[in-house]
Structure 1
């Protein structure tokens, strides 16, 4: 029974049947290149034939009497000319074979990378909950590169070296059947060595790939949280943790290299012993005049060449094992189906016929992340068009989950969510996300110009419209401070901008794309009072004629809301406007008391 391991995504890998399915599914990418692969095989055959005919020509010359002086200098000229022609042909066809195969391999992997990236983008948020960023980066870069090496290195070795082995055996038998049969004794020994090392090397390469994925995942997550690490002086602890991961990867690599060296050196030793055995058997046959000396010379040459393709194939064994692991990992990713399924296209037409009012209804909605404990419990909610609703509650109360369900990052386990009377599951995701605008606590900014970050690279949106949106939300003074204004290049996540400035860009997006429903998820958390004031001013502008839901950490953000929902333990505990909730002297009043007490506390 094959050994199974768990990769960084928590997936079981190592099942032989699973690897076999993965291998043949990945090979389907080579199907459009069948004709080109046929040319590769033909070019390889000509190149190998030109190479293997060289010892045969020497054999003919030797046995024609050159050593005894029976033939003249013209035969040596013939020998030299023949060698030059064959060497030239070998070079030409090897070049044609290599360039054609490289083109095939790079084309296959380019399409594989595109399909993988596109497939990852179709996944639901639950997929990203289970797969770390480092693991997905490994899949997209390292795993696809390993598969590229299979098509550009392993495949050429299988074709070229496989053909060479077959042709060498045929030439040996054409020279002398009995001596060829003696040489074939090594084949069972080769098979035995391969069988002894196969499982060890396969497991070693699989373990090495798993440790590499974990190391990359750990590094990516640490870089993402560098601010927190430095703020809490966790550098030493994280370095120690990295060192532990690095040692595990080092140990796996050493085990991998050890197996590879032992495997290859075993074949080297076997090759030298085989040549020695052939010299003894063949030399005896020459002395007893059973075979000619030229035949023995050719056999020795072919025997040395016989182990050359075997060595080449064994040296590609590590790449093959890595390829099988990488193919299996990608196969597991490709077989992940999104939990949030796309609606039928017919519903999209129906949606366009609706009036975009912005009414939201939750009818008996319950949700669980782990299918065990409910995060939301039987939520009933009706939000009127154009209403501003504040949502507050302690951490884990379910307020962010409520919004995640509304934008269909997840689907409820029970109940229905309606948007303008239409169930969310019947609305195509692209249409839904055009209908709903989301501003998160940490807005994501791309590496690119400020204009492209606002219009999200949609070139049909003019620069003038972008500028108007930014000016409307109060981002104009911030843009003027940038060296190139609206054409300034921002680093990824806008590291050169303050939190409030990054949020203003998010609000400008909302104005530009004009969604009917606006969601603010802790958009003013961790901001200073001035930044919070800027966001409040921008909110007043972008919320006009929009249904607006504001998840707030600071209660001052939602004091003017039409209605406030107080979440507690996955349920709506209280509901009303600010004054009504204070008058109830319940959970909201307690949150309000603690919030303003905290803000009033003097700082040292």
Structure 2
């Protein structure tokens, strides 16, 4: 956190200066009253004019305290919020650079907690804990100086309480930290559950799982509620302990100081100042101990964020000296897999010595049952994961030697469920890049036949769609994703089950868009519907991580092998689906 504070060191010095002036003005007020009582009122000396000037001086000290407290708080908020804003930005940037394997391990809910809630706790460290350490620590020090200046014996009695405070704080420290860790972890689980359920609400309602999910939510909520109660009980017990110590100390000072006044050992003004200072003495101690609770919670948040920052991407660029300079305009799009070995878990490989050669401009269909390795193959080409052995090359260059931003401009991906962001149609096509003009977006949408659909919307290209493109059909979302491809012009195009969830009419629109965008590009199509890849230059049939058959559609049917089984199964499924639709239509007419 110190590294984040360095750019604001001048501001922090100004905060210390303002704090010193504000506290000095505040602590001089009881001393001023002490002078008035002992040197003038008790001795019955001094004029009314003198008292007026003392009152004006007292008021001036109050004004100084107000002014510099105001400046101190504003400066601290500016520095603290700036530090946390930079931290939040760096954390989000770091998360966005991590490999896909990281997102396989961490839930979205916990990451949302880190970026929002944990950074907010760190904000409280700068705006509350740091302020308390500076202001209350300085107040405590100056009070001790003034008390020892007034009377060493009474001041010594007050100091006795400090070791007791230190012991209590040490005893509470471990327990409080465990309490905060429990509370934060349960909050993270609750947020994760909420995020997961909101994303899958259609599935929950379709299967009438509302009661079951409410029951599970209640369990998570109850667990977090109990952790919160435990945290509150700990805080109350911890803070009230110090409050009792403060009251005991005040009683002792009044008793000892009062006896000293009766015995003429000290003046009454000194006792008055001491009573005021002892009240102020425990005020900063109480504040520091209260902030100790916040500090414990902040420490937990810092540790959680540090865990994220210490996580390094498993897929990283090679050394700068080893990186190849790639001219994207000259990329042909030849793809080669040489002796590939890969598995998500140690000791379990999906691919073992896989070889595949795809010519530039070739359209290749990839089919196979679930778990055959189709999507894994695509993930490796996108370099979401790195191979364990072997190499993947584009135009004879190992993709590990291509800078990742360049690689992701060369390889374009259209997924089964295209992700759309909250924003306008224009922004979703150009992905919020201002250097891409509106005219280019419209031209791209016309190219893939998305323009008629967009023109039917209320605000046409300025229509704001919600998260994930709710309100648009699957086919309409897919057409927008095809328009993105036209805008960003990748040399290699990948479609991962892009037509799996489409009706026959929408599929034909997407097929036409595919023909348009695949022209002149190397295209890899993972297909569930074999009709999507019937006209491919080559079809790969995968099973258990191996390519067991390959050829054109007619060649594979002539082999009478696994592809023929898939083809007949697909035809039978399509026949059953069409028959069911016809029966539904006939029932509707009746």
TM-score range, shorter chain: over 0.9
Q: What are the residue-to-residue correspondences of 1:77-476 with 2, within 5 Å?
A: 77-345=52-320, 350-352=325-327, 355-476=330-451
SS across alignment from 2:41: coil
Give the Cα separation in 2 of the matches to 1:202 and 1:349.
49
Q: 1:117 to 1:375 in 2, by over 3 A?
A: same
Give the Cα separation in 2 of the matches to 1:191 and 1:558.
74
Distance apart, 1:297 and its partner CA: 1.0
What does the per-residue CA deviation read over 1:420-455, in whole Å, with 9 as the maximum and x for residues that have no partner?
A: 111100111111111111100111112222122112
- How many residues end up aligned between the 2 structures? 579
User: Does structure 1 conserve the Cα–Cα contact (< 8 Å) formed by 2:129 and 2:291?
Assistant: yes
Give the Cα separation in 2 of the matches to 1:60 and 1:469.
84
Q: Which one of the candidate residues 6, 20, 36 is aligned to 1:61? A: 36
**TM-score, length basis structure 1:** 0.93
What does the per-residue CA deviation read over 1:463-483, in whole Å, with 9 as the maximum and x for residues that have no partner?
A: 222222211211122012111
Give the Cα separation in 1 of the matches to 2:510 and 2:319.
38
Question: What residue ranges of structure 1 are gaps of 5+ in the alignment?
Answer: 1-25
Match in the other structure for 1:14: none
Distance apart, 1:37 and its partner CA: 1.0
What does the per-residue CA deviation read over 1:390-438, in whole Å, with 9 as the maximum and x for residues that have no partner?
A: 1111111110000000011111111100101111001111111111111
Give the Cα separation in 1 of the matches to 2:50 and 2:168.
44
Give the Cα separation in 1 of the matches to 2:443 and 2:329.
29
Give the Cα separation in 2 of the matches to 1:490 and 1:354.
33
SS across alignment from 1:395: coil
Match in the other structure for 1:595: 570
Match in the other structure for 2:587: none
SS across alignment from 1:572: strand
What does the per-residue CA deviation read over 1:81-103, in whole Å, with 9 as the maximum and x for residues that have no partner?
A: 22201101111111111111111
Give the Cα separation in 2 of the matches to 1:213 and 1:424.
37
What is the CA RMSD across the aligned residues, in angstroms? 1.6
Q: What are the residue-to-residue correspondences of 1:20-99 with 2, within 5 Å?
A: 26-67=1-42, 69-99=44-74
Give the Cα separation in 2 of the matches to 1:245 and 1:353.
50
Distance apart, 1:560 and its partner CA: 1.3
Distance apart, 1:75 and its partner CA: 4.2
SS across alignment from 1:64: helix
Give the Cα separation in 2 of the matches to 1:353 and 1:234.
50
User: Does structure 1 conserve the Cα–Cα contact (< 8 Å) formed by 2:412 and 2:493?
Assistant: yes
Q: 1:116 to 1:223 in 2, by over 3 A?
A: same
Question: What residue ranges of structure 2 are gaps of 5+ in the alignment?
Answer: 585-590
User: Does structure 1 conserve the Cα–Cα contact (< 8 Å) formed by 2:180 and 2:231?
Assistant: yes
- In the TM superposition, structure 1's runs of 4+ consecutive aligned residues that sit over 3 Å from their partners are 67-72, 343-350
SS across alignment from 1:566: strand
Give the Cα separation in 1 of the matches to 2:375 and 2:54.
83
Give the Cα separation in 1 of the matches to 2:364 and 2:131.
64
Q: 1:460 to 1:353 in 2, by over 3 A?
A: closer
